[in-house]
Structure 1
Amino acid sequence: MAIFLLIKVHFQGMFINKPFCYSDGVHHVFENIDFAGMSYNEFVDFIERFTQEKFEKLYYCQPDLQIPKGLTLIYNKLQYQEFIDIVYRCGVQVPVYMDHFGTTVHSNMEGVTYEEVSKANGNEDATEGYPKYDEYKNIPDAKGKQMFNEVHWP
């Protein structure tokens, strides 16, 4: 018998500051989907297909932490596997947030970075040596495309 992950996907909303939260969205709880059997790209496609919306970034909130400090960016297959491992290990419902606008979430939080949150939660190997992707101006979107391109004038 398979054990399925329990995630709550928040969409059709946006991150706002003061107080920092995900506002005006709706949510859906998934409890009988084998997310562990999906690749990162299949997960992104599934979420976009279900919500019928595109997004720029996808976050989950670390168990036992509140928004904003618990927000962790899922930006590649390594981070997706880290997310799956955490959800299985904790055995609780984990919120996932769709960022439709590419908000630089951690740069809006005073002194908190994705890397610090991830390391504080014991995920040092997954982030060691990687740039602080959420603060980097050319972070790729969920499909791996650059969101912002530098303009070079002749």
Structure 2
Amino acid sequence: MTTTNIDPEGVYAVVELNYQGVFRRCPFSYEDGMKFTFTEHDWASMNYAECVTFLEKFMHENCKKLYYCEPDEPMYKGLRPISNDVEYASFIFITFGTLGKISLFVDHIGDELEDWVDFDKEGEEHDSCIEGRENGDDT
């Protein structure tokens, strides 16, 4: 079920699933994929493994890695991995504090995004081109 009217007072979090795409390094983005907006799914009732199983059944594809983007942040600053129950709990916490929707991104290939973005430093880049800059150059 998709919707364009998002009710921030609703019972369920609104989650936009981005899948069957690929992460691009220059500029840092997720491209060539599909989108589906879940408006009536109880994400908080699942743990990480149950979420991955649910998503794989929905997509009919394997999920190598899962990420979400913190609301109101560009992808290079707000992208966060979900690889265990602790990170999934953070996703749930942020999801229910969001007015609007939160985006999930599925990595079907297993890209090493940790080589592109330092998740511990919240948005600091390595060698990726971000916002039109290549390798940190402003040219």
Do these two structures clear the TM 0.5 threshold for a shared fold by scoring above it? yes
Partner residue of 1:51 out of 55, 59, 63: 59
Q: Looking at both structures, which has the greater relative contact order when contacts are Cα pairs under 8 Å and sequence separation is at least 6?
A: 2
* 1:114 pairs with 2:119: yes
Partner residue of 2:38 out of 30, 39, 55: 30
Runs of 4+ in 1 over 3 A off after TM superposition: none
Residues 45-101 of structure 1 deviation map (CA, whole Å, 9 limit, x = unaligned): 111100111021000001111112211000100000000000101232001000011
Partner residue of 2:81 out of 73, 96, 109: 73
Displacement after TM superposition at 1:106 (Å): 3.3
1:12 is aligned to 20
Corresponding residue pairs, total:
115
Q: How does 1:115-130 map to 2 (within 5 A)?
A: 115-117=120-122
Alpha carbons 2:52, 2:63 under 8 Å: kept: no
1:136 is aligned to none
CA distance in 1, matches of 2:102, 2:41: 14
What SS is found at the alignment partner of 2:40? coil
CA distance in 2, matches of 1:3, 1:36: 11
1:101 is aligned to 109
TM-score (norm 2): 0.77
CA distance in 1, matches of 2:38, 2:66: 16
Which structure 2 residue ranges, 5 or more long, are not aligned? 1-9, 124-139
Identity of aligned residues (%): 33
TM-score (norm 1): 0.70
Partner residue of 1:3 out of 11, 16, 31: 11
Quote the RMSD (CA, aligned, Å): 1.7
Which structure 1 residue ranges, 5 or more long, are not aligned? 119-154
What SS is found at the alignment partner of 1:95? strand
Residues 94-115 of structure 1 deviation map (CA, whole Å, 9 limit, x = unaligned): 0100001111113124xxx112
Structure number with the higher strand fraction is 2
